Amino acid sequence: MLAAILFDLDGTIVNTDPIHYRAWQQMLLNYSIEIDETFYKSRISGGLNPEIVKDILPQLSAAEGQKFADEKEALFRKLASNLKPLSGFSELLEWTDTHQLKRALVTNAPRLNAEFMLEVLGIKEAFHTVILADDCIAGKPDPAPYEVALKKLAITAEEAIALEDSPSGIRSAVSADIRTIGIASTHEAQVLQSVGAFMAIPDFTDLQLWTLLNSLIEPNLNAIASLVNRTL
């Protein structure tokens, strides 16, 4: 029985990776480091800033690393004033309302970025709970953020589906025993499926997604109809 859909934010609801890529490129040029998309996807996308900075700029102190990350995210917000959600997202929200499903946002995004994106996209009130890595014992790929989301929604992993675009996010959700669909906006579908996604789709208009979701809801509707018939 499907009770909730759990959404990642960056790359899942909105394809922010091209903007993050530009911001990382500009910031790292200050250290004479040039990156390409392969570097970005393998060492930055889906990660947590403290770990990324420690990996790429190990010479920085913790305070210097935090300052670098803060400046990078401020640059991202400056570049990201015209964000639009992936195709089909608003229809998916309406569908979850129709079927009275819960929604959670589970993201590694820094708090200021998450608040900024929700504001720009006009979806501040769209989720029953918002789980930030900053509020958990660990961020993705650790399962902690998804485990917290399940607890907040008072549901089991079997009652949820997660939507994720990055390998680290998929590992997080799958490690929490949640069925996970890969959104192939930033990584190849095969990559997402290789780390645990049972399906990979380009956006929320994909027929595979709607066929799956309706199949998970229809048994519930049939059960209700059967119960009504027995009471007549």
Q: Which residues are catalytic?
A: 8, 10
CA angle 118, 122, 127 (to 5 degrees): 60
Q: In what order do the strands lie in the sheet with 4-7?
A: 129-132, 102-107, 4-7, 160-164, 179-183, 199-201
Q: How far apart are CA 141 and CA 175, in angstroms?
A: 8
Q: How far apart are CA 19 and CA 84, in angstroms?
A: 12
> In Å, what is the CA distance from 215 to each residue of 19, 193, 197, 223?
36, 21, 18, 13
The three-class DSSP label of residue 133 is helix
One DSSP character per residue, 182-222 reads: EETTSS-HHHHHHTT-SEEESSTT-HHHHHHHHHHHHHHHH
Q: Which residue has the tokens 């480091």?
A: 33
Contacts of 67 (CB under 8 A, 6+ apart): none
CA 56 to mean position of chain CA atoms: 24
